[in-house]
């Protein structure tokens, strides 16, 4: 096949990110009992034991089998190929126990390490396939994190999570809308992005009229006003689908919100209940809930093009925007702890006034990290789309009404996220680490 143009990647880098991803996977398995490794059958999670075997199989499928034409575990697809093994079947499979699953994981890893011995630049196919499978493992690490949240398991013990969280900037912090001028914008990732998923291609120009966007995400305190005002009980604030979804679940507040003995809101974080952190971004809210909040507030969600313009474009000093866009809001340097909340560094969101060093050029804070942000855009192909070697990643979901999310969350790995990265989920999902910011009507 023809691979998307990528930068030359040193083999030591491929080994390092693979080792780091594997450490995170093992941290997420550590401490779970045999029962917890299976867990209840729910539509929004997988059995953790199955999921780590699937991670190993994905590496085997797209590196060992695709590039070398050999197998580590013949027949592993009958257990772990997500394209063929139905979701509900995964609880009834004859899975190996944890030791057997970890053995398979390690056997595949040894093959991968032998393919990139650690000297010189990787070949084009090696560079692409090894990063694809590492980023896939990163995505499953994020999924395993919200599985632990969904099932009220203890918080994972990440080696990286040893630092004190950042201090919020002095209040009041950014609150007023930012006016962003209209522009022609190239939506999609070009060759300057080291690795591009297929749904980011091809770059194409879109006209984006001027808009006004909130400089920060909606906070828990903001969302609590909607809840107290009966927002969950007023059908006129909800789309028809959203209201039906809310009624079926009898929701009166976001997932994991609880009323304390004194009537104050609390929130469950993993297996602990804490007072609701008012200045953190609202999280674990579905697109339906974000949409209803916007109707209540007389606001709207940004489109993904508007979101990307606010995150990546630089004012020209004359009322317009310079051509081109930034890989990160602050420039092309990779994310760090001064600019973004990523990599599970603080095991949860931080206040929306923190991390001012990561502000975008127009003045939006936390466009990268902390919480994924829902947009109003339905997930679909860009013009000229061609499915990647991993054909099941994007194309099957285009007609399904999924919504685009942007920006990454505190669980997202910094090596993967940038202003052009597109995530996509169905509008009913509350388990993901998603919040939102709003635009003026």
Convert the pLDDT of each residue in 324-337 to its tens digit: 999 999 999 999 99
Report the pLDDT value the prediction gives residue 2, as an integer from 0 to 100: 40
Average pLDDT over residues 349-368: 96
pLDDT at residue 4 above 70? no
Report the pLDDT value the prediction gives residue 1, as an integer from 0 to 100: 37
Q: What 8-state DSSP symbol labels residue 106? A: H
Over residues 283-313, the pLDDT tens digits come to 999 999 999 999 999 999 999 999 999 999 9
Report the pLDDT value the prediction gives residue 191, as an integer from 0 to 100: 87
Q: Does domain 174-218+281-441 have CATH number 2.30.30.240?
A: no
Average pLDDT over residues 340-347: 96
What is the phi/psi pair of residue 299, to 5°?
-130, -170
Over residues 171-193, the pLDDT tens digits come to 545 578 999 999 999 999 998 89
pLDDT at residue 7 above 90? no
How confident is the prediction for the chain on average, in pLDDT?
A: 94
Over residues 84-132, the pLDDT tens digits come to 999 999 999 999 999 999 999 999 999 999 999 888 888 888 999 999 9
Measured distance CA(111)–CA(60) in Å, rounded: 9
- Start-to-end Cα distance in the chain: 45
- Surface-to-core class of residue 308, CB atoms within 10 Å of its CB (0-12 exposed, 13-18 middle, 19+ buried): buried
Report the pLDDT value the prediction gives residue 362, as an integer from 0 to 100: 97
Degrees, nearest 5: CA angle 87-90-96: 155
Other residues' Cβ atoms within 10 Å of the Cβ of residue 152? 13
pLDDT at residue 377 above 90? yes
Measured distance CA(240)–CA(254) in Å, rounded: 19
Average pLDDT over residues 373-380: 98
What proportion of the chain, given as a percentage, has pLDDT over 90?
90
Q: Does domain 11-150 have CATH number 1.20.120.450?
A: yes
Confidence of residue 164 (pLDDT cuts 50, 70, 90): confident
Report the pLDDT value the prediction gives residue 3, as an integer from 0 to 100: 45
Report the pLDDT value the prediction gives residue 118, as an integer from 0 to 100: 80
Measured distance CA(4)–CA(197) in Å, rounded: 9
Q: What tokens does 129 get?
A: 């396939």
Those residues with Cβ within 8 angstroms of residue 205's Cβ, 6 or more apart along the chain or in another chain: 184, 185, 186, 187
CATH 1.20.120.450 maps onto the chain at 11-150
Measured distance CA(94)–CA(349) in Å, rounded: 38
Average pLDDT over residues 395-423: 96
pLDDT at residue 322 above 90? yes
Adjacency order of strands within the sheet including 257-259: 257-259, 265-269, 272-275
Average pLDDT over residues 240-257: 97
CATH 3.90.1580.10 maps onto the chain at 174-218+281-441
Report the pLDDT value the prediction gives residue 172, as an integer from 0 to 100: 47
Pairing of strands 434-435, 423-425: unpaired
């Amino acid at each position: 096949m023809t691979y998307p143009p990528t930068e030359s990647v040193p083999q030591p880098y491929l080994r390092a990110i693979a080792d780091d991803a594997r450490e995170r996977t093992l941290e997420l398995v550590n401490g779970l009992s045999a029962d917890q490794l299976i867990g209840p059958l729910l539509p929004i999670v997988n059995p953790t034991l199955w999921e780590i075997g699937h991670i190993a199989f994905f590496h085997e499928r797209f590196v060992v089998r695709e590039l070398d034409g050999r197998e580590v575990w013949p027949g592993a697809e009958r257990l772990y190929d997500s394209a063929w093994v139905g979701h509900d079947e995964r609880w009834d499979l004859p899975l190996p126990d944890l030791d057997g699953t970890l053995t398979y994981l390690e056997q595949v890893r040894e093959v991968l390490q032998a393919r990139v011995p650690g000297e010189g630049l990787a070949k084009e196919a090696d560079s692409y396939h090894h990063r694809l499978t590492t980023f896939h493992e990163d995505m499953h690490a994020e999924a395993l994190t919200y599985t632990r949240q969904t099932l009220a398991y203890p918080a994972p013990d990440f080696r990286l999570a040893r630092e004190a969280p950042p201090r919020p900037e002095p209040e009041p912090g950014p609150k007023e809308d930012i006016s962003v001028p209209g522009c022609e914008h190239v939506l999609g990732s070009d060759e300057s992005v080291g690795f591009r998923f297929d749904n980011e291609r091809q770059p194409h120009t879109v006209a984006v009229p001027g808009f006004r966007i909130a400089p920060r995400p909606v906070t828990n305190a903001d969302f609590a006003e909607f809840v107290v005002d009966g927002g969950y009980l007023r059908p006129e604030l909800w789309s028809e689908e959203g209201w039906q979804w809310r009624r079926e679940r009898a929701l009166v507040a976001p997932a994991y919100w609880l009323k304390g003995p004194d009537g104050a809101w609390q929130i469950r974080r993993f297996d602990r209940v804490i007072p609701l952190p008012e200045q953190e971004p609202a999280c674990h809210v579905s697109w339906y809930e974000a949409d209803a909040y916007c109707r209540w507030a007389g606001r709207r969600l940004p489109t993904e093009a508007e979101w990307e313009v606010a995150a990546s474009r630089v004012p020209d000093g004359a009322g317009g925007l310079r051509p081109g866009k930034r890989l990160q809001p602050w420039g092309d340097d990779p994310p760090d702890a001064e600019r973004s909340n990523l990599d599970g560094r603080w095991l949860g969101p931080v206040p929306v006034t923190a991390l001012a060093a990561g502000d975008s050029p127009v003045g939006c804070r936390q466009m990268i990290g902390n919480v994924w942000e829902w947009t109003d855009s339905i997930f679909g192909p860009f013009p000229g789309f061609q499915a990647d070697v991993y054909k099941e990643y994007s194309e099957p979901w285009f007609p399904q009404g999924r919504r685009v999310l942007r920006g990454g969350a505190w669980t997202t790995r910094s090596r993967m996220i940038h202003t052009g990265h597109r995530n996509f989920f169905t509008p009913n999902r509350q388990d993901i680490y998603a919040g939102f910011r709003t635009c003026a009507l």
